[in-house]
Amino acid sequence: MKLENGRPEKIDNRVLTEVAVYDMLDQLEIPFERIDHEAAFTMEACAEIDKVLYPAVICKNLFLCNSQKTKFYLLMIKEDKKFITKDISKQIGSARLSFAPEEFMVEYLKTPAGSASIMGLMNDKENRVQLLVDEEVLCAEYVGCHPCINTSSIRIKVKDVFEKFLPAVEHNYIKVVLKNGEI
């Protein structure tokens, strides 16, 4: 695995949502580094990828919804943290949260299971998904995420994500506090 600067030279074998991420980052003049790899569905499978992306904070991106499936959330947390549903629900003033069905993630973020990413918010034109971000992610210099497909990962400056990307895709975020190692 090798870290490359920016988008791949050849894009004919890439999915459209991935290419759209690279196009958006280029348009916003946001530099990024990329690594291509085998599909990564779990945090354990990402261990080697994480080493290459260091010092980026590698995030778990959890796609959640309320019990009525009327409100949807993308929760970005550090890979070593777990979330307590009731604590997050209390912080954001929402009814009981659970993992949202995959069809909503595909519809709103245009990403399949295992590929949830903050980059998918560019596809949420109707702002159906509220971003929730672990406060520790905001303190990092870099963040690692998928470009809407789990066969590539990118390293990007946190400042660029929150000061350039999110405003461009017309999304805001809610900062949440998660404790280490809790379930």
pLDDT tens digits for 70-128?
999 999 998 888 878 888 888 998 878 999 999 999 999 999 888 899 999 999 999 99
Q: Which residues contact 179 (CB under 8 A, 6 or more apart)?
A: 81, 84
**Residue among 15, 13, 11, 4 nearest 123 (CA):** 15
Question: What's the whole-number average pLDDT of the chain?
Answer: 91
Q: Find the domain containing 152 and state its range.
A: 4-176
> How many domains are there within the chain?
1
Least confident of 58-62, 116-120, 139-143: 58-62
Residue 33 sits in a domain whose CATH number is 3.90.960.10
| Per-residue CA distances from 42 to 3, 4, 14, 45, 61 (Å) | 20, 23, 21, 5, 11
Q: Is residue 92 part of a domain?
A: yes
Question: Which of 12, 15, 23 is CA-nearest to residue 122?
Answer: 23
- The answer to whether residue 182 is domain-embedded is no
Q: Which of 98, 79, 71, 104 is CA-nearest to residue 174? A: 71
The answer to whether residue 79 sits within a structural domain is yes
Query: Rounded to two decimals, what is the model's pTM?
Result: 0.92
Is residue 183 situated within a structural domain? no
Assess if residue 181 is contained within a domain. Answer: no
Give yes or no for residue 139 having a pLDDT over 50. yes
